[in-house]
Amino acid sequence: MILGLGIDIIEVARIRASHEKFGERFLHRILHPNEIAYCLAHKNPAPFLAVRFAAKEAVSKAFGTGIGAQLGWRDIEVGKRESGEPFVILHDAGQKLLHERGARAVLLSLSHTENYAAAVAVLE
Instruction: State the CB neighbour count (10 A cutoff) for residue 48.
Output: 21
- 61 is annotated as an active-site residue: yes
Catalytic residue among 19, 32, 56, 112: 112
Active site residue 43: no
- Given the residues 42, 61, 80, 96, select the one marked as catalytic: 61
Q: How far apart are CA 21 and CA 38, in angstroms?
A: 20
Q: Which residues of 100-120 are buried (b: 16+ CB within 10 A; e: fewer)?
A: eeebeebbbebebeeebbbbb
Task: Return the active site residues.
Answer: 61, 112
